[in-house]
A and B are shown apart, each in its own frame.
Chain A
Amino acid sequence: MAASVRSIARIVLSDSRRKALVMSSGPGINLTCRVELGGSRFYNEDHAGRTTSFGFETVSEEEKGERVYKVFESVAPKYDVMNDAMSLGVHRLWKDTLLRVMNPLPGARLLDSAGGTGDIAFRFLNYTRSRHALQQRAALRSQQTPSWQDISRDYASGERAVKAESRVVVCDINKEMLTVGKEKAERLGFGAGVSWVVGDAEELPFDDDQFDVYTVAFGIRNVTHIEQALQEALRVLKPGGRFLCLEFSKVSNPLLSSIYDAYSFQVIPVLGEVIAGDWKSYQYLVESIRRFPDQETFKAMIEDAGFFRVQYFNLTGGVVAIHSGFKL
């Protein structure tokens, strides 16, 4: 019963949004639909004075968006270097683990939100391509001679490689990060298979039911309204699609926690100043990690958004957590 109500609500919500986006006739009706069904960001006067956290500071919601944009605009050129320096290369293992948890099949469509420099996108393509190659080798081994039906089918379809092509869409609100990602893609040879889209995670420029997997790696804590980003994730996923979030989280062990805090607040801003020439952005980074909800709270938020079978995996003692949920 609850599921059907939820699905009806989802259809109505997505319907009104789609209509609003397309700007069809009858604007009056669409606008009221939008306001009633929670599109309150745009027309509700009460939200004008709302505040949120920017690290340990309290700022207005509009200001947070601008300031986060400026932070990532300034760190974009040295983003990858800084990631390696701050985590001593361990962030690569975290991202590899995310892919292993995701375990995508060839032909899957991925939306990498706040994907910036494309780390997850490139790993996804490598994973699916090698898996596709393994599948093909297994198929060849099992079938010594293809039947005449197989031969005629492959002959008609043309290029075999095109059949199970995985596609990634990297979406980020910040153009500088996408530019860095595009250059990296050309350097590493990932020209085809990746699209780069500018978009806000709270209002994705995609239709409903488009993607098999939605990932957000180290990006959701920078979003002003996390619940809205989760709802958008639910909207663009196909039924059966998976939501995956890789994010810094709470360390439960007190000894590890004190070492982690000391390292975060003493060393990371210094590294930011020396390598990237930007103390303040990295101060914001470590503060925003402390402000983000812990594993259980975030799990509850994901469940509230409408995902099922929500679980989390702690990595490196809780420094980083992978949250996963399914849209049914």
Chain B
Amino acid sequence: MRAATLRLRSPRRVLSQLPHRNLIHYGQLYPSHVPTNFVQKSLLAVGSGVAALRDPYRHDMVAVLGETTGHWALMRLRGQMMRDPEGCTILKERPRIRISTLNLSHMATLPDGCLGREYLSFLEDNNVTPDSRAEVKFVDNEELAYVMQRYREVHDLLHTLLGMPTNMLGEVAVKWFEAVQTGLPMCILGAALGPVRLSSRRFQLLVNTLGPWALRSGNRARCVMSIFYERRWEQNLEELRRELGIEPPPQILSAALKKVPSDSAY
């Protein structure tokens, strides 16, 4: 009797605990997918744009804006990645940059000047973690969703490659670079509206030195999404920059560029 009731109960329990059970619902293509139609996407794009402009700290709104407006740009990016052999490998293997997948202790032992060591210093100096990126929700294609997720995770590495801190000026410079490289409307919007919040001194810096440098590098550089960073931790950063075609960051007043303790956004 007891054995019979146990058997009756277990199948349902097991089913309810399977992690991918919910993939069957609503036409979900990946675990965090929320299928939306054109009307919902348009409303989301407008709403998230307004919310992001009103409160720039709403990173989730910036993410939603990027997802709902980036379909064409993501397709172009994927095409670029497929034409590059390294990019093709990334699309096949789908690496993720997360605390759990990075070998931080090994990276700490690497010599200074290596990509891995510089990336680790960047994470520590700016007190950021690769796990803080939101999951992609509104992209209705599984591969394009991965490309979007990869773009978000590579963002910190771009900061390292370009040598830019995470204050407003550094972020705008990286956005200009990304806008040229990826063509995502969210990057273009961020690049256009970001400078509005800069102080006049930093605005001058951006327009005269940093901005043109970022645009030039973005134009000349290879598609940064096609680089398999996880296999290049030991590579020297300067050498990587030369290989990719990124000019070294301009040597301007370090005080203006460095992140000051009073810097929360500016």
Interface presence of A150 (CB below 8 A) = no
What B residues does A48 contact at CB under 8 A? 9
Measured in the bound complex, the distance between the Cα atoms of B227 and A241 in whole Å is 72
Q: A45-B5, A266-B40, A273-B47 are in contact. List 18 more A-B contacts (CB 8 A).
A: A49-B12, A57-B25, A59-B16, A60-B16, A266-B39, A266-B43, A270-B43, A270-B47, A273-B44, A273-B48, A274-B47, A274-B50, A274-B64, A277-B58, A277-B60, A277-B61, A279-B34, A280-B34
Interface presence of A269 (CB below 8 A) = yes
CB contacts under 8 Å to A, within B3-52, are 5, 8-9, 12, 16, 25, 34, 37, 39-40, 43-44, 47-48, 50-51
Interface presence of B137 (CB below 8 A) = yes
Q: A45-B5, A48-B9, A63-B16 are in contact. Are A274 and B40 (CB under 8 A)?
A: no
The residue of chain A having its C-beta at the shortest distance from the C-beta of B60 within the complex is A277
B48:A274 contact, CB within 8 angstroms: yes
Which of B5, B9, B40, B61 interacts with A269 by CB under 8 Å? B40
The residue of chain A having its C-beta at the shortest distance from the C-beta of B25 within the complex is A57
B residues near A, CB below 8 A? 5, 8-9, 12, 16, 25, 34, 37, 39-40, 43-44, 47-48, 50-51, 58, 60-61, 64, 137
Measured in the bound complex, the distance between the Cα atoms of B8 and A272 in whole Å is 39
The residue of chain B having its C-beta at the shortest distance from the C-beta of A274 within the complex is B47
Measured in the bound complex, the distance between the Cα atoms of B63 and A224 in whole Å is 35
Measured in the bound complex, the distance between the Cα atoms of B138 and A280 in whole Å is 12
The size class of the interface chain A forms with chain B is 10 to 19
B16:A274 contact, CB within 8 angstroms: no
What B residues does A270 contact at CB under 8 A? 40, 43-44, 47
What B residues does A273 contact at CB under 8 A? 44, 47-48, 64
Contact with B along A192-209 (1 / 0, CB 8 A): 000000000000000000
Interface presence of A271 (CB below 8 A) = yes
What A residues does B39 contact at CB under 8 A? 266
Contact with B along A28-56 (1 / 0, CB 8 A): 00000000000000000100110000000
User: What number of residue pairs across chains A and B have CB atoms under 8 A from each other?
Assistant: 40
User: What are 23 of the A-B contact pairs (CB < 8 Å)?
Assistant: A48-B9, A49-B8, A49-B9, A49-B12, A57-B25, A59-B16, A60-B12, A60-B16, A63-B16, A266-B40, A267-B43, A270-B43, A270-B47, A271-B47, A273-B44, A273-B48, A273-B64, A274-B44, A274-B48, A274-B61, A275-B51, A277-B58, A279-B137
Measured in the bound complex, the distance between the Cα atoms of B37 and A63 in whole Å is 29
A274:B51 contact, CB within 8 angstroms: yes
Contact with B along A249-271 (1 / 0, CB 8 A): 00000000000000000110111
Closest beta carbon of chain B to A21's beta carbon, Å: 28
Contact with B along A271-294 (1 / 0, CB 8 A): 101110101100100000000000
Closest beta carbon of chain A to B39's beta carbon, Å: 5
Measured in the bound complex, the distance between the Cα atoms of B61 and A271 in whole Å is 12
Closest beta carbon of chain B to A167's beta carbon, Å: 40
Measured in the bound complex, the distance between the Cα atoms of B26 and A57 in whole Å is 10
What A residues does B48 contact at CB under 8 A? 273-274
Measured in the bound complex, the distance between the Cα atoms of B10 and A60 in whole Å is 13
Measured in the bound complex, the distance between the Cα atoms of B41 and A267 in whole Å is 10
Measured in the bound complex, the distance between the Cα atoms of B13 and A63 in whole Å is 10
Measured in the bound complex, the distance between the Cα atoms of B39 and A59 in whole Å is 30
Measured in the bound complex, the distance between the Cα atoms of B58 and A63 in whole Å is 31
Measured in the bound complex, the distance between the Cα atoms of B44 and A137 in whole Å is 54
4 pairs of A and B residues whose beta carbons are closest in the complex: A274-B47, A270-B43, A277-B60, A266-B39
What A residues does B16 contact at CB under 8 A? 59-60, 63
What A residues does B64 contact at CB under 8 A? 273-274
Closest beta carbon of chain B to A81's beta carbon, Å: 13
Closest beta carbon of chain B to A160's beta carbon, Å: 50
The residue of chain B having its C-beta at the shortest distance from the C-beta of A275 within the complex is B51
The residue of chain A having its C-beta at the shortest distance from the C-beta of B13 within the complex is A60
What B residues does A57 contact at CB under 8 A? 25
Measured in the bound complex, the distance between the Cα atoms of B9 and A45 in whole Å is 9
Measured in the bound complex, the distance between the Cα atoms of B51 and A46 in whole Å is 49
What B residues does A274 contact at CB under 8 A? 44, 47-48, 50-51, 61, 64
What A residues does B12 contact at CB under 8 A? 49, 60
Closest beta carbon of chain A to B46's beta carbon, Å: 9
The residue of chain A having its C-beta at the shortest distance from the C-beta of B41 within the complex is A270
What A residues does B25 contact at CB under 8 A? 57
Measured in the bound complex, the distance between the Cα atoms of B64 and A270 in whole Å is 11
The residue of chain A having its C-beta at the shortest distance from the C-beta of B134 within the complex is A277
Closest beta carbon of chain A to B19's beta carbon, Å: 14
What A residues does B8 contact at CB under 8 A? 49
Measured in the bound complex, the distance between the Cα atoms of B60 and A63 in whole Å is 28
Closest beta carbon of chain B to A65's beta carbon, Å: 13
